[in-house]
Amino acid sequence: MRSPRPPIPRPPSDKSVAYARSRHRLFAIQLLWTVAGLWGLLATGASAAWAQALRQRGLAEWLVVGGYGLLVGGASTLWFLPWQWYGGWVLERRFGLSTQTWGAWAVRELKGLLVGGVVWLMVMEGLYAILLTAGRWWWAWAAAGWFLVTVVLTRLMPTVLLPIFYKTQPLADAALQRRLEGLLARLGLPVMPIYTVALSQETKKANAALAGLGRSRRILLGDTLVAHYTPEEIEVVLAHELGHHRLAHLRWHLITGAASALAGFWLVDRWWGSLAPAVGARAVTDIAAFPLMGLLLFGLSLVLLPVDNGVSRHFEFQADDFALTLTRLVDPFISAMQKLAQQNLAEMHPPGWIEWLLYDHPSIARRIRAAELIRGAPHEI
pLDDT in tens, 298-351: 999 999 999 999 999 999 999 999 999 999 999 999 999 999 999 999 999 999
Instruction: Give tens-digit pLDDT for 251-309.
Output: 999 999 999 999 999 999 999 988 898 888 888 999 999 999 999 999 999 999 999 99
Per-residue pLDDT at 299: 94
pLDDT at 4: 52
C-beta of residue 310 within 8 angstroms of C-beta of residue 356: yes
Instruction: Give exposure, 117-146, as e/b (b: 16+ Cβ within 10 Å).
Output: eeebeeebebbbebbeeeeeebbebbbbbb
To the nearest 10°, report the CA torsion of 198, 332, 317, 255.
30
pLDDT digits (tens, 9 = 90+) for 186-230: 999 988 999 999 999 999 999 999 999 988 999 999 999 999 999
Q: What percent of the chain has pLDDT over 70?
A: 95
